[in-house]
Structure 1
Amino acid sequence: MTFTQDLSVISSIAALWIVVTIMPGLDFLLVTRLAILQGRMAALRAALGIAVGVGLWGLAGFFGIRALFVAAPWLYLVLKIGGGLYLFALGVRLFVGSWKKQPEDTMQSAPNMETVKGFRMGLLTNLANPKVPVFVTSLFAASLPQQASMGLGLSCVVMMFGMAIGWYALVATLLSLRRFSAMFLRCRQWIDRVAGVAFMGLGIRFATERSA
């Protein structure tokens, strides 16, 4: 393939991926919560974790993880159940924690714990969503030529990684500003409750729904 053809393929994948990236979902919810309740660094580390997860799924999609799932359906079942249980446990922790009395100035009194955990939370939340590998593999199958070069595949993965970290870093930076955080901190218990219910609901759905 020529450089122009490669660029056309990357552009078509980028056009679809940017829409998927900016749509609110579990990743967006996690970054928003950390930015508002724990500060910019915790949210930025989560953004990096999410982007790494996207990159890993992108590599898996390029190297044909869908074929592996077809050959060994139990692998996808393990991914769905394991991911669902992780999201459910995270939701329970958020929901239960929302009923505990919080310090008046959460941003100043307890940012360090979540900052350390930010990257891991972002990575695991992204990897735990079984819809991501299905979408990525479908996107690559529909957009990449059958004999796509290694360079083209890796370029698409780098593009997806860059979009993910750019978008979530922007969200983390904007929502950690004092004017936003001060307003939402007054509602921090309800933020955690809504986030907890959402994570629990999706966790149950992922763990119990039938494979497509």
Structure 2
Amino acid sequence: MQSLTPLLTIAGLWTVAAVTPGPNFLLTIRLAAARSRAAGLAAVAGIGVATAVWGLAGLLGVHALFAAAPWLYWALKTAGAAYLVVLGLTMLANSRRRDVAPAAAQPARGVRASAAFRLGLVTSLANPKSALSVASMFTAALPAQPSMLLGACAIVLMVAISTLWYAGLAYVFTLGVMTAGYARLRHWLDRAAGALFVALGMRLALDRA
């Protein structure tokens, strides 16, 4: 029972973090609606791996590492910000193209499962503040010296929550009504998504935390 309480706390905190719209949300629904459910799920797999990485980093005390080597945090943050900005600008550039056929009729064009996986992985890893958030969450919810089993269970729980949530999004956004709506509004939606990615990248770059 003592082990269950911190896991329930982590489940609640991570669920809130996962369902809050951000880069992972935008990437998953865009790949699913514009390409295919397989592409969306491949991105979800990448997000799941990234969640495990951040969970392990938080468990091993990444906060202390960044405090000891602030240049490392700065380098990771700068690289992540640059990635998000470039991804957003790419979306903005692609939104100006005129497709011969609607996007919904070309579900898998140009996106392999491996490429979608990498997009999900790198997009989720782009923000090193995620590691600090996980570290803070573990500090608040877990005992001072958690057992390896408890730490592993916490990470597995985080991965399961992220995977289920984003896989659900990938399923919903490949339903006929969603793909048809995306096809009609693709150029505007891609512009909005691209602008949001650029804004997120700029915000990360300018954040002094």
TM-score by length of 2: 0.96
How well do the aligned residues superpose, as a CA RMSD in angstroms?
1.2
Q: For residues 43-67 of structure 1, give each alpha carbon's deviation from its aligned partner in whole angstroms, at most 9, with x where no partner exists.
A: 1111111111111000010011110
Cα 1:134–1:103 change in 2 (3 A) is farther
Stretches of structure 1 that go unaligned for 5 or more consecutive residues are none
Matches within 5 A, 1:54-93: 54-93=51-90
Q: Distance in 2 between matches of 1:65 and 1:93?
A: 32
Matches within 5 A, 1:124-163: 124-163=122-161
- Work out whether residues 37 and 170 of structure 2, in 8 Å CA contact, stay in contact via their aligned partners in 1: yes
Q: Distance in 2 between matches of 1:191 and 1:111?
A: 18
Deviates more, 1:100-109 or 1:26-35: 100-109
Matches within 5 A, 1:116-127: 116=113, 117-127=115-125
Cα 1:101–1:112 change in 2 (3 A) is closer
Counterpart of 1:33? 30
Residue 32 of structure 1 aligns with an amino acid whose one-letter code is: I
Residue 93 of structure 1 and its aligned partner are, at CA, apart by 0.4
- Work out whether residues 38 and 115 of structure 1, in 8 Å CA contact, stay in contact via their aligned partners in 2: no
Q: For residues 108-138 of structure 1, give each alpha carbon's deviation from its aligned partner in whole angstroms, at most 9, with x where no partner exists.
A: 3361422331110000000002331121111
Q: Distance in 2 between matches of 1:133 and 1:190?
A: 33
- Work out whether residues 62 and 140 of structure 1, in 8 Å CA contact, stay in contact via their aligned partners in 2: yes
Counterpart of 2:14? 17
Residue-pair matches, total? 208
The secondary structure found in structure 1 opposite 2:110 is helix
- Work out whether residues 43 and 115 of structure 1, in 8 Å CA contact, stay in contact via their aligned partners in 2: no
Residue 33 of structure 1 and its aligned partner are, at CA, apart by 0.7
Q: Distance in 2 between matches of 1:96 and 1:48?
A: 27
Residue 183 of structure 1 and its aligned partner are, at CA, apart by 1.3
Identical columns (%):
42
Q: Distance in 1 between matches of 2:176 and 2:42?
A: 19
Matches within 5 A, 1:44-59: 44-59=41-56
Counterpart of 1:175? 173
Q: For residues 71-110 of structure 1, give each alpha carbon's deviation from its aligned partner in whole angstroms, at most 9, with x where no partner exists.
A: 0001100111000000011001000110011232323336
Stretches of structure 2 that go unaligned for 5 or more consecutive residues are none
Residue 205 of structure 1 and its aligned partner are, at CA, apart by 1.8
Deviates more, 1:126-135 or 1:88-97: 126-135
Residue 78 of structure 2 aligns with an amino acid whose one-letter code is: I
Cα 1:110–1:172 change in 2 (3 A) is closer
Counterpart of 2:164? 166
Residue 106 of structure 1 aligns with an amino acid whose one-letter code is: A
Q: Distance in 2 between matches of 1:129 and 1:172?
A: 22
110, 114, 138: which is aligned to 1:113? 110
Residue 201 of structure 1 and its aligned partner are, at CA, apart by 1.1
